[in-house]
Every structure is written in C-alpha cells, then in structure tokens.
C-alpha cells in the first residue's frame, strides 16, 4: 500500500459533534448506499455522503467542488443469522411483553471502513491512508455518531409527557373511600371499561370512543365541561409502581401526576394493590397500527404480482410500524408510532405525472444523451447555492426522481423481514390485531423490494413545521398542500420572485370563482381564488336495516352530486354594503379555470364525541371521463352592477347608506351623528325604533368592552363616540393546522378561519360558533399567506377556461383507519406499458404499498376507488 504524504494533515480534522449530521447511510445526491459494492464516502470535513459509481461520481464531484481531500469509505454487510443445532435459522425470541428494545446496528451488520486521500488520486477514488491513532479517532467519531437519517428520526421517537400545573395545584373536593359499586361502571351509562376517575370529585365516567372501536360515550368530557375538573385517571391502567394513564382536559393532552398515589388515596385506592387490567392508550394505538393495511392478494386468493423496473420503485416506511412499547413509567415518555406512508403515497402519485418527470427526470427528446438526467442534476449542483446537497430542495427532488423513475433500485430483495405487513382480505375491513406480531410473518419468499428511504427529503421538507417535522402519521392531503408550497417557495426564491415556465406544481392550479348577489339591490361581487385541491363534502345517508349502530352502512354517492353540492348556489344571510341592511344573498361557486391535473379531496367526516371520525361512504365515479363543462363560471356579465369594495381606502365610499329618515329622527332627539350611525349599523339599518332602543341600552357604557362585527367588516369600536373604523380589529391569524382541523369536520376554509377569529383562536369555542352560525359563509378578506391552497396569489390565476373540460382518472390515494392521522395510506396509479400489464390497452393499475409494488387486480381497484381519500384526474 502506497504511503500518503498528506497523512499529517489529518491531525487538523475533528470528529463530528453531536449536533452535526453525518450522511453515512446513502449518497446525498442518489440512493446508492453503504450496502452497495463500493459503499459510501463520508467527507471528514463536512460529513457529506457521496457514492463512488463511475457513471455518477458524486464523491469525486464533491472533492472537486469543496477541496475536502479526506473521506472515510463505509461498506456495510449483514452478519450471518444465528443457527441452532439442526443448522436451521434460529427464530427470534418470543415477545413476552411490550418493551422498547433498541436494535443496535452492530448486532446486525459488519462494517468495513477505509480512509482515503483524494489529493493523491483525484480520479480513481483516492489512495488508502494507513491506520494510526488519528485515523482511528476520526473513524470512531464517524461510526459512533448518529447517522443523519437516524438523527432526524430519533427526535420524534419519544414525546415527552410532563406534569402541567393542574395536577400540581389539584384541590380535591371529596374524601373517603369510594364504594366498589361506585367504580363498577360509568355514572351516566352502563359501560364497564374505558372508565376515567375524576381526581377532583371522584366522579367516574367513560372516555371518548376512539382507537379502533374502544367503547366510550364521552361522559368524562361532559363532566369536565360541566365542572371544569381537569385531571382524570384511567382505571385499569394503574400499576403498583404508580404508573397510569393521566389526562388533563384543560390542556387536552396526556400528562403526569407526580402525586398520583396521594390523590388516589383520598378515594381509598391503594396503588400497591392495583393490577393493570386494561390496555393503556399507547398499547391501544400500537394494536390499531398493526390492524390497518391493504390486501396484497387478488379476489381468488392468489398473491398479487410484484413488479420491478422504471417507475415502479417502492418507498420504505420510515416509521417502525411494529415497534415495542416501553411499559416502565419511570422513563416519563410515551412512544408514539409513526409512519411515512402518507408521504410515500403522495410522492408516488406526483412522480407518475409527466410534469414532474419532465422537470426532474425525463429526457425531453430522444436526440439527447443517455446521461441527460445525470447532466441535468450535475448542472444544477454546479451552480447550487447550498453547501451540501442534503440542504438543497432541488438536489433532493432530482435524487428522488432518479430513485423512483430510473429503475436502478427496483429489484427483488428476498431477505426475510419478520415485521412485514399482515395480509387483509378485501371482504373485511381488518383482522383482529394479533397477540404476537412475530407469530404472523409475511411469506418468506415474496420478492419484495427493499425500498428507498427518503429520510433526507422528509427532514428537509418538514424542517420547521410543527407536524411534518415529526415522524408521526399525518394527513396525506395536508402534506400534498404543504409540499406544493415548499416547492413553490423554493422556485420563487430561485428565480427572484417569478415561478417561470416549467413549474411542475402549476399543473394543479385552477381558479375558483365565487359570485355573491344581494337579493335587495341585486348588485354582485366576484372573487377568484387560486386553488390546488377541490375539497368536496360527501353527504352521509345510512341505509336502513344495513349494518349496525357501531358500523352503519352508507348509501353510495355519485361524484357528480358532490360536485353539484359544492359548485352550486345557496341562499345566505347577508349584510349588504350598498345600504340594503340585513338581507339575503345568493352565493354561487363555480370554476373560473380548469387545471391540467385535477385533485379531488373527498371529505368523509363526522364529528362524534368532539372527535372527527371517518365515514365509509362510497363515491361512484363516472363510467367514462369526468366532464366539468357545466361548472365553468362566466365572470362579471354586461348589465351587472358590482357591490362596493369593502377594502376601499376611502371611508366615506365604504360606509353603508344609512336610512335618511331614521338618521333625521335620531339626530332630532339629540343623539350625536356617529352614535346614530353605529346604532343603525348594529341593528341592520332596520329603522329608528330599533336603533333608539340600542342607543338607550348603550348610553351608560361609552367605554364598553368588545366590538360589534358585521358582514361588511366595519367595526363599532369599544368607544361608542369614536368614528366608525374600517376593517376588523387586529387579531392574530389562526394557525393553519387549527383551520385544517375544523375544515376536516366538513366546514369550508373560510368558515373555519372566521370561527377561530371570532373566538380568539379557541378551537372548542370555534366549533360551537360554527354550529350556532350555520348560514355564515365566512366571507372575509384573507391575508396573503394565510392558507396554502386558498390564498389569492399575486400572479394570474392558473389553469385554463378552455372547453371541453374532460378528465380521466390517473391515480387515487386510499386510507384505512378511523382518522386520517392514523391508519395506513397507499397509492394506485394507472401505468402505461406497465410490467406484467393485465388491463386492456396495455395499461395496468399498480398498487404502491410502501416498498411493496404490485399489479392490482380489477376487483380491488373497483372497490378501493369508491372509498379513496384523494383522486387525481388528468385532463384529456
């Protein structure tokens, strides 16, 4: 081995700090990884990971760009499986309890490491540096650090549970033992499980129904709303060590009670005599997570055919779906199971579309070189402003496109994976959760792909986001909107404020036209919002005599009916800005333009015990193409007179026309003009008598608190003698997550936002406000950036008004589970010239279920698309 004359320079280098990301699992510009023949080269200066492939040479490119000469090459190989005396593979030990047992990498793999100097050989991969104390120090630093992928995941493994002020300041109002009969069932119903004991007064009530069918009528919540007693403990989860499920209704989250033993003793409950008889909330969540998956068998019971090749590469689930639960409460932590299937289903669907393939992968013409894709990514990296590819969204999108579309990573992986998915037949929702997951492995010889692990992409896209920055399950539709926003923001900054041509996200953009006509003066107002998703409510009609109370059967609903309900007209209560006062108006919603790709979001939710619950309402798609010609809006027509613009800078022009006779009568009685105007404004311009009553009621409180908000968004300020002010009082914009939560309950974005503004951002009060104002449309000025999909953008409205507007189903995303924030997502995509194509026209529906990619059978596609969560239609 030739000696390296630069070896002394290694003493200047330092191992990675705890806060630094070490990219040793895979290349930051492609999915070549440490399991490949050449392994990964980790830079000893910036800890970037790069591959050594001759066609990609990302390691050589990194050295040339940065001048960082030393790398550590890491190659990983699995250790031989232990065998028993018979020579067979030894089965894993049976789990006797739910417990977190960290699976150490060194127990599963051997690593071969070599330190290289690229200054000595910048073309063929560097010269190997001889081992000494310095190389050992640097090598140990790299190998003992958390990899970048593991570092981003470990932050979300544990969610700290802490003791809020409510258990610490708890005042117990009752004392003395509770008789046995008082702990037998809910005080308000006959339920004998899922019982929660109020630690203030000792009331025993049932919890909410959730976690895949656990019974509950929400009487503990009713008790809290009536008494404001915040802390309760779940009976059956109390252990002699003082552990138990504690919930604080005031905080609306799980909490710790450091004085639980003392608090229970007040009611005669000795924790030392308690025995755990019910599953904790986390154990129930684990059981639920094991339950939901999609069938990988055809209608006749045969296994669906795996496919491999270009465009059919699976994505490995970044969450450990079959982890184990740490029962010891001393850890003060709750392990929450998390998924990335919501992200995988969205990405597989996006990269099946030609706009994303053209932008990030596909060669535009056959005349170009076979290396066009690599050259395109390399050209970007040559001018990229980021120091590392892992920090550049464009680099990660190139990497993802190459991984999904090239086919180089789509090949069978036959190694047995004991925690693989359970097979669930189409004629049942789920199988009961197995008592021992290890006793139900997937078939050993099914040649599934190992799947790509887009951990770097997920960390970058979710960076700084309260939800997508975690590893918990999320809503696929919300992630879709978030991803489009992130891509647009990047491209906007890249091009200095203009999105420019070739922006792939604009294929989803369309205009939604809202027309409001006052029935008093027949003036109109038009507003066009840029949208990316058409969110449709789905009407629920139970079929009498079918199903049961716990699982009703719903009548199928044609997609056209959902469109008619949303893209139609309705009569609403309205405060006219033109001076008609409180009257009615007709609101009509139509499409101003049509997108190239239409994404339909089916909102099948109902609020049960204050928890959004998904309803299995079948949607019937049209037999042929989806035709939207009749939903095109026409904009302002000749002869129509527009309503005054409520956002005008002129106060005089924006004020309503007050009833002249009423003003004269009120002023004749000696009331100041501004008070007369406010009285008429507050009473809907309904005459002198009503205004006079209002004035007499407010004569003694000129400094009264609060304000009176009206539909035209003029405000009567706290001081009755101040002039009428334009616009709303300054209030903070509600968080997008809270708006989305209310929107999931079936309300529009505008209604959800206004409800939160009217209730100081309190979600519970906002729900109550919405139910008390069913006719309020939520019409308000929406500030820029307030919503990801409803913000009116400065640029022109996307899409085209050209007819005909016909669409063909390209893909759909399905979900199993009671809530979009749990369960499991998969994607179906119609693939042209798909491998093993079974459909007419040489096309096939391909199911992407994490790393498992199979040709879907016709029967399953027909059933699953009725209950899909998102539909993707391409314009034809």
pLDDT of 661 above 70: yes
Determine whether 681 is exposed, middle or buried from the number of CB atoms within 10 Å of its CB (0-12, 13-18, 19+).
buried
Confidence of residue 725 (pLDDT cuts 50, 70, 90): low
Choice among 24-33, 37-46, 375-384, 544-553 with the minimum mean pLDDT: 544-553
pLDDT of 748 above 90: no
Confidence of residue 103 (pLDDT cuts 50, 70, 90): low
What are the binding residues for Zn(2+)? Answer: 186, 189, 206, 219
Helix and strand counts by DSSP (H, E) for the chain: 23, 35
Give the pair of three-digit tokens for residue 800. 């085209």
Highest averaged pLDDT of the listed ranges 358-362, 573-577, 587-591? 587-591
Q: What tens digit of pLDDT does each residue of 208-225 get?
A: 875 444 678 889 999 999
pLDDT of 271 above 90: no
Question: How far apart are alpha carbons 165 and 146 in whole angstroms?
Answer: 35
Question: How far apart are alpha carbons 296 and 847 in whole angstroms?
Answer: 9
Percent of the chain with pLDDT over 90: 39
Question: How confident is the model at residue 503, as a pLDDT?
Answer: 86
Give pairs for 206-209: CB < 8 Å, separation 24+. 207/234, 208/609, 208/610, 208/611, 209/608, 209/609, 209/611
Note whether 143 and 169 are within 8 A (CB). no
Which residues face 814 on adjacent strands? 826
**Mean per-residue pLDDT over the chain, rounded:** 77
Q: At what angle do helices 688-697 and 660-668 cross, to 10 degrees?
A: 40
Mean pLDDT of 699-710: 40
Question: How confident is the model at residue 242, as a pLDDT?
Answer: 79
Question: How far apart are alpha carbons 523 and 159 in whole angstroms?
Answer: 55
Highest averaged pLDDT of the listed ranges 186-190, 351-355, 817-821? 351-355
* Alpha helices per DSSP H over 539-586: 559-566
Higher pLDDT, 177 or 112: 112
Q: Look up residue 534 and give its DSSP letter.
A: E
3-state secondary structure at position 392: coil
Per-residue CA distances from 725 to 320, 651, 699 (Å): 56, 8, 20
Question: How far apart are alpha carbons 430 and 424 in whole angstroms?
Answer: 6
Task: Kindly list the catalytic residues.
Answer: 341, 824
Question: How confident is the model at residue 51, as a pLDDT?
Answer: 94
Per-residue exposure over 331-341, b if at least 16 CB sit within 10 Å of its own CB, e if not: eebbbbbbbbb
Mean pLDDT of 804-820: 88
pLDDT of 783 above 50: no
Choice among 60-64, 337-341, 553-557, 606-610 with the minimum mean pLDDT: 606-610
Note whether 316 and 848 are within 8 A (CB). no
Confidence of residue 769 (pLDDT cuts 50, 70, 90): confident
Q: Give the sheet arrangement for strand 195-198, strand by strand.
A: 204-206, 195-198, 231-234, 246-248, 253-255
Give the pair of three-digit tokens for residue 215. 């019974």
What are the binding residues? Answer: 186, 189, 206, 219
Residue 382: how many other CB atoms lie within 10 Å: 9
Mean pLDDT of 441-448: 52
Question: Which secondary-structure segment (H or E) carries 765?
Answer: helix 763-772
Closest by Cα among 527, 463, 525, 523 to 490: 463
Per-residue CA distances from 395 to 195, 359, 384 (Å): 52, 12, 9
Question: How confident is the model at residue 441, as a pLDDT?
Answer: 33
Question: How confident is the model at residue 420, as a pLDDT?
Answer: 35
Mean pLDDT of 785-801: 55
Closest by Cα among 360, 357, 286, 276 to 321: 286
Percent of the chain with pLDDT over 70: 72
Highest averaged pLDDT of the listed ranges 145-149, 316-320, 763-767? 763-767
Closest by Cα among 409, 408, 311 to 832: 311
Per-residue exposure over 635-660, b if at least 16 CB sit within 10 Å of its own CB, e if not: eeeeeeeebbebeeeeeeebbbebbe
Determine whether 792 is exposed, middle or buried from the number of CB atoms within 10 Å of its CB (0-12, 13-18, 19+).
middle
* The pairing of beta strand 843-849 with beta strand 824-832: antiparallel
Q: What tens digit of pLDDT does each residue of 405-439 get?
A: 999 999 887 553 333 332 222 222 323 333 332 22
Q: At what angle do helices 476-494 and 393-405 cross, to 10 degrees?
A: 120
Mean pLDDT of 450-464: 90
Which residues face 71 on adjacent strands? 43, 116
Q: What tens digit of pLDDT does each residue of 306-326 get?
A: 899 999 999 998 864 333 333
Higher pLDDT, 240 or 147: 240
Question: How confident is the model at residue 505, as a pLDDT?
Answer: 95
Per-residue exposure over 479-514, b if at least 16 CB sit within 10 Å of its own CB, e if not: bbbbbbbbbbeebeebeeeebeeebbbbbbbbbbbb
Distance of CA 776 to the CA centre of its chain: 28
Q: What tens digit of pLDDT does each residue of 353-362 get?
A: 999 999 998 6
Question: How far apart are alpha carbons 622 and 631 in whole angstroms?
Answer: 16
Question: How confident is the model at residue 365, as a pLDDT?
Answer: 47
Question: How confident is the model at residue 706, as a pLDDT?
Answer: 32
Higher pLDDT, 235 or 148: 235
């Amino acid at each position: 081995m030739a000696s390296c004359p630069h070896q002394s320079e290694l003493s200047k280098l330092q191992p990675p700090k705890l806060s630094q990301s070490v990219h040793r699992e895979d290349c930051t510009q492609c999915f070549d990884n440490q399991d490949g023949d050449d392994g990964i080269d980790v830079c000893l200066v910036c800890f970037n990971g790069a591959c050594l492939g001759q066609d990609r040479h990302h390691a050589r490119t990194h050295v040339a760009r940065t001048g960082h000469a030393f790398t550590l090459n890491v190659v990983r190989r699995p250790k031989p499986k232990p065998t028993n005396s018979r020579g067979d593979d030894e089965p894993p030990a049976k789990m006797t309890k739910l417990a977190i047992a960290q699976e150490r990498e060194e127990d599963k793999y051997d690593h071969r490491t070599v330190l290289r100097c690229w200054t000595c050989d910048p073309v063929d991969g560097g010269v190997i540096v001889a081992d000494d104390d310095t190389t050992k120090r640097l090598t140990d630093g790299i190998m003992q650090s958390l990899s970048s992928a593991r570092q981003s995941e470990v932050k979300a493994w544990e969610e700290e549970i802490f003791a809020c002020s409510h258990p610490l300041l708890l005042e117990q109002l009752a004392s003395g033992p509770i008789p046995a009969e008082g702990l037998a069932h809910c005080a308000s119903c006959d339920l004998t499980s899922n019982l929660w004991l109020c630690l203030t007064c000792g009331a025993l009530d049932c919890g909410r129904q959730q976690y895949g069918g656990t019974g509950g009528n929400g009487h503990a919540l009713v008790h809290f709303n009536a008494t404001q007693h915040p802390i309760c403990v779940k009976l059956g989860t109390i252990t002699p060590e003082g552990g138990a499920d504690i919930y604080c209704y005031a905080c609306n989250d799980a909490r710790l009670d450091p004085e639980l033993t003392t608090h229970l003793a007040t009611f005669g409950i000795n924790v030392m005599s308690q025995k755990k008889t019910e599953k904790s909330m986390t154990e129930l969540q684990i059981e639920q997570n094991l339950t939901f998956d999609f069938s990988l068998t055809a209608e006749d019971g045969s296994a669906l055919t795996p496919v491999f090749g270009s465009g059919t590469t699976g994505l490995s689930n970044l969450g450990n779906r079959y982890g184990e639960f740490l029962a010891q409460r001393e850890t003060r932590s709750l392990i929450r199971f998390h998924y990335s299937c919501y992200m995988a289903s969205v990405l597989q669907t996006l990269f099946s579309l030609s706009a994303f393939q053209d932008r990030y992968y596909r060669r535009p013409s056959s005349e170009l070189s076979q290396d066009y894709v690599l050259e395109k990514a390399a050209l970007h990296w040559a001018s990229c402003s980021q120091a590392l590819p892992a920090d550049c969204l464009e680099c990660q999108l190139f990497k993802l496109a190459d991984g999904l579309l090239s086919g180089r990573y789509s090949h069978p992986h036959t190694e047995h994976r004991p925690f693989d998915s359970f097979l669930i037949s189409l004629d049942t929702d789920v199988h009961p959760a197995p008592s021992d997951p290890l006793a139900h492995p997937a078939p050993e010889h099914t040649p599934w792909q190992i799947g790509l692990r887009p951990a770097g992409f997920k960390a970058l896209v979710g960076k700084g986001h309260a939800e997508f920055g975690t590893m918990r399950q999320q809503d696929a539709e919300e992630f879709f909107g978030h991803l489009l926003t992130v891509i647009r923001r990047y491209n906007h900054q890249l091009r200095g404020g203009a999105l420019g041509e070739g922006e792939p996200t604009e294929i989803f953009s369309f205009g939604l036209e809202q027309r409001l006509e006052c029935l008093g003066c027949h003036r109109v107002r038009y507003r066009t919002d840029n949208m990316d998703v058409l969110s449709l409510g789905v009407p629920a009609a139970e079929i009498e005599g079918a199903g049961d109370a716990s699982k009703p059967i719903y009548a199928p609903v044609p997609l056209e009916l959902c469109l008619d309900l949303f893209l139609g007209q309705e009569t609403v209560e309205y405060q006219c800005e033109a001076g008609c006062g409180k009257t009615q108006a007709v609101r009509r919603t139509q499409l101003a333009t049509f997108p190239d790709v239409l994404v339909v979001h089916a909102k099948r939710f109902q609020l049960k015990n204050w928890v959004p619950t998904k309803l299995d309402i079948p949607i019937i798609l049209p037999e042929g193409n989806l035709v939207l010609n009749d939903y095109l809006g026409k904009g302002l027509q000749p002869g129509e007179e527009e309503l005054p613009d409520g956002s005008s800078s002129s106060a005089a022009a924006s004020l309503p026309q007050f009833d002249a006779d009423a003003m004269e009568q009120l002023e004749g009685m000696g009331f100041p003009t501004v008070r007369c105007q406010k009285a008429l404004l507050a009473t809907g311009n309904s005459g002198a008598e009503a205004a006079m009553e209002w004035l007499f009621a407010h004569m003694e409180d000129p400094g009264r608190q609060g304000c009176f908000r009206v539909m035209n968004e003029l405000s009567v300020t706290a001081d009755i003698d101040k002039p009428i002010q334009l616009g709303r009082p300054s209030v903070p914009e509600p968080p997008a997550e809270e708006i989305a939560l209310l929107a999931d309950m079936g309300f529009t974005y505008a209604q959800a936002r206004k409800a939160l503004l009217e209730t100081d951002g309190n979600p519970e009060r906002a729900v109550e406000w919405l139910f008390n104002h069913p006719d309020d449309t939520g019409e308000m000025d929406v500030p820029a950036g307030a919503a990801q999909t409803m913000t009116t953008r400065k640029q022109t409205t996307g899409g085209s008004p050209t007819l005909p507007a016909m669409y063909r189903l390209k893909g759909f995303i399905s979900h199993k589970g009671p809530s979009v924030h749990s369960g499991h997502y998969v994607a179906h995509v119609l693939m042209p010239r798909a491998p093993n194509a079974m459909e007419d026209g040489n096309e096939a529906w391909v199911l992407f279920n994490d790393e498992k990619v199979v040709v879907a059978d016709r029967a399953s596609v027909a059933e699953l698309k009725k209950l899909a969560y998102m539909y993707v239609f391409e314009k034809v």
